[in-house]
Structure 1
Amino acid sequence: MKLSNSFSGALRTFAYFMASGSQYTLKGIDYISLYGNEPSAIEQVYAIFANVIELDNNGKVLNAKYAEKRATDYLRAYCDPSFKVDPPYEDWEIALHEPPPLKDQV
């Protein structure tokens, strides 16, 4: 099974705005310097995005903007300790799941 075009589009768009420094939910936060210097912070953002995003039975993304907000709130709090994520993250939102094997299984 492949991921849906809807999910692919949501992920691509989120990745573009994150990598370009123009993510609207991070306006005023200098997060670009974290790329290459603090990769675990960026890893956590994408993990939250992937954990929070929801798809319907046809693979259509239902909550892309909410997933972006939950993900980028982590980075905002990381860069600005006075920012409090509300509501606080639940364990399932911030879970870092097992990576794929080093070799494809096909």
Structure 2
Amino acid sequence: MKLSHSFSGALRTFVYFMASGTQYTLEGIDYLPLYGEDPTAIEQVFAIYANVIELDEHGEVLNAKYAEKRATDYLQRYFNPDYIIDPPYEDWELELY
């Protein structure tokens, strides 16, 4: 089975904004240097996104903005240890496969 156009589009959009430094949930945070300096932080962001995103039985994305928020909250906390992730991450959200 191939990924749906809905998922491909959601993923492409998230990757574009993450790679261009214009992700709206990270406004004011200079996270682009992490791609070369700490790629494991970026890896974790994409793992959270992939773990959180939900599709219906037709492959249509149900929660793209929520998945983006959960993923980018990781970088918010990375740069600001006082940032509160609410609700806290569950173990399954952080798994690397």
Q: Count matched residues.
A: 97
Question: What SS is found at the alignment partner of 1:35?
Answer: helix
% identical equivalent positions: 74
TM-score between the two structures when normalised by the length of structure 1: 0.90
Greater share of helix residues, 1 or 2?
Answer: 2
Deviations 1:32-64 (A, max 9, x none): 111111000000000000000000000000000
Residue 4 of structure 2 corresponds to 4
Q: Could you tell me how far apart the structure 2 residues matched to 1:83 and 1:30 are?
A: 16
What's the RMSD between the two structures over aligned residues?
Answer: 0.5
> Hey, which bits of structure 1, 4+ residues long, moved more than 2 A?
none
Q: Which has the larger radius of gyration?
A: 1
Unaligned runs of 5+ in 2: none
Unaligned runs of 5+ in 1: 98-106
Structure 1 residue 28 displacement after superposition: 1.1
TM-score between the two structures when normalised by the length of structure 2: 0.98
